[in-house]
Amino acid sequence: MMNKTTCPQVSSDFKDSFLPPVYILVFIVGLVANGWGLKSLLHNWKKLKIINVFILNLGLTDVLYLLTLPFLVVYYFLKSKWIFGEAFCKITRFCFNVNLYGSIGFLTCISVYRYLAIVHPVKVMGRITITRSVIISVMVWLLVSFQSLPDMFFAKASRNDTEKCFDTTDNAHIEEYLKYTLGWTLTGFCIPFVITLGCYGHMAVVLWTLKRTDKVLKQRSLKLLFILIFLFSVCYIPYHVLRNLNLLARVLTKQRICHKWYNGVYIAHQISRALVCLNSAVNPLVYLHVHEDVPAQLRQQLQQVRQMFNRWFLSNHSRRPLARTVDEL
């Protein structure tokens, strides 16, 4: 249904109650997981060889974003009232974009590296070096920063309410922002997604058809494929689709073209914002599937924690009967 009268305003209360608990959970899990992952990475630095350069940068993008989450939690707890200044608002949104597209970029690099190492090992022998991996990583950072920089020049607060910190921009610049984000989606998401899908699609076929392929390598590569499928299908695809639909709804609302689906798209977009930030907590799973020693190390550490807990429990349990005997005397 459509009309050209004043459109009813979409309620923004949902995000103020929904996003803070998600951000708190992601902040805690993400810091612990990335801290452990980066520690394991440095411990196995020589064994992981060239691919660790991309994984290290992937972890750095996650930590960069996670450190901004406490400020966003405060923002939404205060009912969308930003108290940290306009400059830091733009920096916070910039860190989110760098994390999002940096994660996609480095996951794409990891996918291409795995593809070349498994499908074309002879052709790339000696051509993929640590120096070239560092150069590629620097290029990814520069490209992602270049793509994200224009976002900082868009207004992040409305003229009527300067205490806002929009994740996109105000209604006065919404048409230009929609054009910008459509191009951003194409270059920052769609192209890397097609490359990643092509690499792992071909690699999966090769791994299943070649019987001489190492079984552990096959399982680890396929598990990594499933992790990437999860990241793209749950974290990345819904966010990009719904962000652009929500921006389109705001453009149409500004033109006084009203549809019933606006409120539903807005709520779905807020849910997708929660899902996309999960990538910072899910990315550390990549550490588990690039080298066989890392999962073994995790199992060893978990076993040590379990043994410490058992010793603590048995120690407390053994003291309780003695305490009762003394009391009875």
- The whole-angstrom distance between residue 194's C-alpha and the CA centroid of its chain comes to 18
CB 262 within 8 A of CB 253: yes
pLDDT exceeds 50 at position 131: yes
pLDDT at 84: 94
Segment 169-196 mean pLDDT: 95
Domain 13-291: give its CATH superfamily: Rhodopsin 7-helix transmembrane proteins (1.20.1070.10)
pLDDT at 312: 62
pLDDT at 305: 47
| Cβ neighbour number for residue 314 with a 10 Å cutoff | 10
Q: What are phi and psi of 10, to 5 degrees?
A: -75, 135
Q: How far is CA 147 from CA 156, 186, 189, in A?
A: 17, 11, 11
- Closest to 197 measured CA to CA, from 233, 238, 234: 233
pLDDT at 247: 96
pLDDT exceeds 50 at position 243: yes
Q: What is the pLDDT of residues 221-232, one digit of tens each?
A: 777 778 888 889
pLDDT at 123: 78
Rounded distance, CA 20 to CA 175, Å?
29
Q: Which residue has the tokens 């708190």?
A: 24
Per-residue tokens: 261: 């689906």
Q: CB-based contacts of 196: which residues, under 8 Å, 6+ apart?
A: 107, 108, 111, 228, 232
Rounded distance, CA 231 to CA 149, Å?
24
Q: Sign of dihedral through CA atoms 52, 57, 61, 64?
A: positive
Q: Classify burial at 79, counting beta carbons within 10 Å of its beta carbon; exposed 0-12, middle 13-18, buried 19 or more.
A: exposed
Instruction: Decide which of 38 and 214 is more confident.
Output: 38
pLDDT at 115: 86
pLDDT at 214: 64
The SS3 assignment for 162 reads coil
pLDDT at 117: 82
Indicate the domain borders of the chain. 13-291, 295-329
Rounded distance, CA 280 to CA 240, Å?
17
CB 297 within 8 A of CB 40: yes
